[in-house]
Amino acid sequence: MIRPYILAENNWKSIKDTNYDLAILPWGATEAHNYHLPYSTDVIEADHIAAEAAKIAWESGAKIIVLPTVPFGVNTGQADIKLDLNIYPSTQLAIISDLIEVLQRSNIFKLLILNGHGGNDFRMMVRELGLKYPKMFLSTCNWFQAVNKMQFFEEDGDHADEMETSLIQYLTPNLALPLEEAGDGKEKRYKIKAFLEGWAWAERKWSQITKDTGVGNPKFATKDKGEQYFKAVTLKVSNFLIELANADVNDLYE
């Protein structure tokens, strides 16, 4: 069945006569995820979360359209990890700028970038493009920050960890190797105190901080945990989509 909120599944017959209030651009990355998860992990997660959240929002009356998920992210810190595909922030800026022009021609003036990769940071791009395209309301969110994942999982981490492993076990179990194949995701941390405290930042060199490309122990992951977390995240994101689609951008503050 064609999902009316997914652009890639629709046709000119339906698209030409439908008005949309909000476009969603899921954005992932293609990179190693420990030994047991696919390179497309971030794409799978962003794709499924965008689609399910959009489904809930559409059924509530929100007129939204989900654009195809971008599979390439910023992986400058992983340059020596084989086939971790990198595009630069300047490339992302160019892509978003081009798509904004298409959206404006299509009378869609709200765009949400739904980010699913920690190496992507679209906030500065939203600032720059918001000034360049004043008719557009631009926003971005990280779906992995929508809910407190420690309500669902035992072990913390930020890459191929218990959370991501559980999600892939639920969403695409055929692409997840058995947990016996996974590395422990042990991470080396900075010696410099300011970086550890979070008020200073430098990019991590991936091959120096992890042996298996994972950061976070995946061993306690389960499909059931993935399902519960997926439902919580998509419900939270869908509520945001509804609010954003219906919002008057000239009356956002109180």
Q: Mind listing the pLDDT tens digit for each residue in 109-133?
A: 999 999 999 999 999 999 999 999 9
Mean pLDDT of the chain: 98
pTM: 0.97
Q: Identify any residues that bridge with 215 across adjacent strands, giving them in sequence order.
A: 159
Mean of pLDDT values over 167-189? 98
**Paired tokens of 218:** 């995946």
Q: Please identify which residue in the block is written with the tokens 């084989």.
A: 82
Q: How far is CA 17 from CA 14, 59, 68, 102, in A?
A: 6, 18, 20, 17
Q: Cβ(22)–Cβ(241) under 8 Å?
A: yes
pLDDT of residue 184: 97
Q: Cβ(230)–Cβ(52) under 8 Å?
A: yes
pLDDT of residue 90: 98
Domains of the chain as residue ranges with CATH: 7-246 (3.40.50.10310)
Q: Cβ(217)–Cβ(30) under 8 Å?
A: no
**Paired tokens of 143:** 């779906």
The CA-based angle 182-226-172, given to 5 degrees, is 70
Using 50, 70 and 90 to split pLDDT, how confident is the model at 239?
Answer: very high
Mean of pLDDT values over 100-116? 98
Mean of pLDDT values over 191-212? 97
